Structure 1
Amino acid sequence: MTTSSPEFRDLLLEGTGTADTIFFRVDAGRAPGLSYGHLSRCLMLSRELRQRGTDTALLMGGLPDGVAYARSQGERVLPPTPDALRRTSARTLVIDLPYDPEPDLLEAARSAGLLLAYLDDTGRSHIAADVVLNSSILATPGMYPLVRTALLGPKHFLMPPEDMALSRRCRGRAASSVPGAPAMPDSQSSPVRPGRPSSPPSPDTRPRVVLTFGGSDPTGLTGKVLAALEKAALPLSLTVILGPGFAAENPIEPLAESLAATVIRAPERLLPILCDADLVLCAGGRTLYECTALGLTTLAIASTDNEAAVIAAFLARGMLPAGLAAWDVGLFVRTLRRILPSA
């Protein structure tokens, strides 16, 4: 599985001058089927395009947590209206949404002759555009009959060079590595003290497990997994990653404390933390593709029907050691014991 798509980036830049703007229509937030994966790849592309001298802006809807996070990353955020396109020297509109964009925005883009590009994971055959990138393992030829250029499959998965450079480290991690990563200025990275007496071995030979379920974890998999781990009483060294949209009213701290887990909130970079794990627990979205690209041992748990299909495809191709199509506490514990025999 290769992980870069210079073709897509170059297509976005077709005919674009330094005074032109590439717009991204994207949403993020704590909502079923949305989370932060769409925004993450738009942020990545936006940064790369700006480094190449092209102006960018994000057109985002009314989910305040996603908008706030995008602005905290230095992005210019505007409402998703035709006026935003008309007031700027727009050249390209990139749409990265799990649903169709506003009809008036599409009409304005087409009337202005903008290059229209989609980042799509769902195979919506009615999409009419110049370019579509669908890096899903479920993408198939002929999926987009109304698209001029379709870039399909995991070989087009978007991943920045600094993350791909971690591949060698992830595959040959030294046993003495310690989980950790730099955090955003307003992030909190806090080891949680154990809630019950324990005497971990010295040196600590317990399997290092990192769990992360997206930017907001709208289906609550973090709490479900922690509760299952507490009941199973497996000897693990556990790190819990909470994304920027994780709800503060969802109290996972008591469970994390009981498990002597380290909790890291909104890390600036996720993958260096994952690379120090013996096992990653994640959903069936972007993080699964990243873990596969880096050769990390992963147990994926679907949070949506589409993720269940993705996980099934990874399993069928032998690219994933274990995966669950839906949350099942008994099956989860049995699977975890199987792929972590030392536990």
Structure 2
Amino acid sequence: MTTILIRADATPSMGTGHVMRCLAVAEALVELGAAPRFAAVDLPPALTQRLAAAGFTVDALPGPAATGTDAQALADLARETGAGAVILDGYHFLEPYRAALATRGQPVMAFDDGPGTRPLHASLVVNPGAVIDATAYGTANPDAALLLGPAYAPLRAEFRRARGAALPPLDQRRRLLLTFGGTDPAGLTLPCLKRLAPALPEVGLDVVVGGSNPNTACIQAAGARHPNVTVHVETPRMAELMRDAGLALSAAGNTLGELACLAVPTLLVVVVDNQVSSAGAVAAAGKAQVIDARGIISGGADKAAVADRTVNATLALWADAQARANLSLAIARSDDGQAVDGQGAVRIAKALLSLAM
């Protein structure tokens, strides 16, 4: 049985997306007979517990993260466990760290969300974004196998199962999904909940937060004031919530692939620069509506004003059933090379195992 070592972190500012997409690949690796395990310096207790509950070993590495100390500990762990390959996912792993890891012998798979212009020192590079410069990736990483585009969106097994079942008709879905990621670094969940819940009293509002969200208690308290609100903390039922949603208000991160897989009409909120290209591409193709809220994390944008603008757009889209139907049909298209079919994690796992020692 091949051991695959997965190196990823999660913090309030970084979010949980790196770990969660690695979890999707880990699930697929298990299905293919491999033995993945996680290694982290920074990992919230709630996420550690989630990985453990899913059956994965989580090894704590000495910090600070992405330093020489971390890299040496990871190399030692790879040797001790006989790892056949290493998965690396995180913007904080800079070139010296990556170069050092590449000299240790095991093939390295790197997730990347950038423009493809930097050397990643990896045998396998994965970028599931909608807008990718394959030439740039090939130039910067000439020896790497490249898995590029939405076909490689790494979705957890629950989404593959949900896509295989019949979806409820859109006009029968009277629930709205609000999700801004595991940690919601922009802090938009609470103000949007407070505005949406009283504005749509007859609509069920499913609010999803990660266990490491610093505002979880306040969000739960606000939700408890409205009978139409259900707050889900670290939910294992995300695919089910999406299947039931007539509209999703979401951060423009990894969740975009999950929503696309289930053809959920979506209003995306962009909060960081690396979300712009993919969100812009799906908006240009009529597959989602997008609000640009960059600057909110740094304080350059007023949170209340962003929340007002976001909620107003959400209410307008909820009231326009035809617009939501058009979004759902567009994002479900399979003839444009941008479809997310839920099999991305399996494709990644197979490619990685073909390279593993």
Alignment TM-score, normalising by the size of structure 1? 0.76
The alpha-carbon distance between structure 1 residues 228 and 266, as it changes in their structure 2 partners (threshold 3 A), is: same
Tell me the CA shift for residue 340 of structure 1.
1.6
Counterpart-to-counterpart distance in 2, 1:106 and 1:313? 32
Counterpart-to-counterpart distance in 2, 1:222 and 1:282? 10
Mapped contact 2:250–2:267 kept (Cα < 8 A): yes
Mapped contact 1:140–1:152 kept (Cα < 8 A): no
What RMSD over aligned residues (CA atoms) do the two structures have, in Å?
Answer: 2.7
* Equivalent pairs, count: 292
Question: Is it true that 1:275 corresponds to 2:243 in the alignment?
Answer: yes
Counterpart-to-counterpart distance in 2, 1:27 and 1:214? 15
Match of 2:9 in 1: 27
Mapped contact 2:99–2:121 kept (Cα < 8 A): no
Match of 1:215 in 2: 182
Question: Is it true that 1:154 corresponds to 2:132 in the alignment?
Answer: no
Q: Secondary structure at the match of 1:278?
A: strand
Tell me the CA shift for residue 315 of structure 1.
0.4
The alpha-carbon distance between structure 1 residues 249 and 159, as it changes in their structure 2 partners (threshold 3 A), is: closer
Match of 2:31 in 1: 51
Match of 1:203 in 2: none
Amino acid at match of 1:247: P
In proportion to residue count, which structure has more helix? 2
Q: Secondary structure at the match of 2:231?
A: strand
State the 4+ residue runs in structure 1 displaced beyond 6 angstroms: 174-177
Amino acid at match of 1:146: A
The alpha-carbon distance between structure 1 residues 116 and 242, as it changes in their structure 2 partners (threshold 3 A), is: same
Q: Which deviations, in whole Å up to 9, do the C-alpha atoms of 1:111-135 show, x marking residues without a partner?
A: 3321111111123522222110100
The alpha-carbon distance between structure 1 residues 69 and 88, as it changes in their structure 2 partners (threshold 3 A), is: same
Amino acid at match of 1:227: K
Tell me the CA shift for residue 85 of structure 1.
1.8
For CA contacts below 8 A with separation 6 or more, give which structure has more relative contact order: 2
Q: Secondary structure at the match of 2:11?
A: coil
The alpha-carbon distance between structure 1 residues 168 and 323, as it changes in their structure 2 partners (threshold 3 A), is: farther
Amino acid at match of 2:262: L
Match of 2:325 in 1: none
Match of 2:307 in 1: 329
Tell me the CA shift for residue 307 of structure 1.
2.3
Give the share of equivalent positions with the same residue, in percent: 26
Match of 2:326 in 1: none
The alpha-carbon distance between structure 1 residues 60 and 101, as it changes in their structure 2 partners (threshold 3 A), is: farther
Q: Aligned match of 2:20 in 40, 49, 52?
A: 40
Q: Secondary structure at the match of 1:62?
A: coil
Q: Aligned match of 1:253 in 220, 244, 254?
A: 220
Q: Which deviations, in whole Å up to 9, do the C-alpha atoms of 1:210-262 show, x marking residues without a partner?
A: 11111121221111211222564664321211223222565023421333211
Amino acid at match of 1:141: A
Match of 2:87 in 1: 94
Q: Secondary structure at the match of 1:86?
A: helix
The alpha-carbon distance between structure 1 residues 111 and 307, as it changes in their structure 2 partners (threshold 3 A), is: closer
Mapped contact 1:283–1:307 kept (Cα < 8 A): no
The alpha-carbon distance between structure 1 residues 92 and 165, as it changes in their structure 2 partners (threshold 3 A), is: same
Q: Secondary structure at the match of 2:178?
A: strand
Match of 1:319 in 2: 287
Question: Is it true that 1:114 corresponds to 2:106 in the alignment?
Answer: yes
Q: Structure 2 matches for 1:70-81, cutoff 5 A?
A: 70-78=51-59, 79=61, 80=70, 81=73
Amino acid at match of 1:259: H
Listed as ranges, the gaps of 5+ residues in structure 1 are 1-17, 178-206
Alignment TM-score, normalising by the size of structure 2? 0.73
Stretch moving more, 237-246 or 305-314: 305-314
Match of 1:297 in 2: 265
Listed as ranges, the gaps of 5+ residues in structure 2 are 62-69, 294-302, 322-357
Tell me the CA shift for residue 43 of structure 1.
1.6
Q: Which deviations, in whole Å up to 9, do the C-alpha atoms of 1:250-284 show, x marking residues without a partner?
A: 50234213332112221113111111111111100
Q: Aligned match of 2:191 in 224, 228, 233?
A: 224
Counterpart-to-counterpart distance in 2, 1:340 and 1:105? 45
Tell me the CA shift for residue 27 of structure 1.
0.8
Q: Secondary structure at the match of 2:236?
A: coil
Mapped contact 1:167–1:295 kept (Cα < 8 A): no
The alpha-carbon distance between structure 1 residues 237 and 110, as it changes in their structure 2 partners (threshold 3 A), is: closer
The alpha-carbon distance between structure 1 residues 35 and 139, as it changes in their structure 2 partners (threshold 3 A), is: same
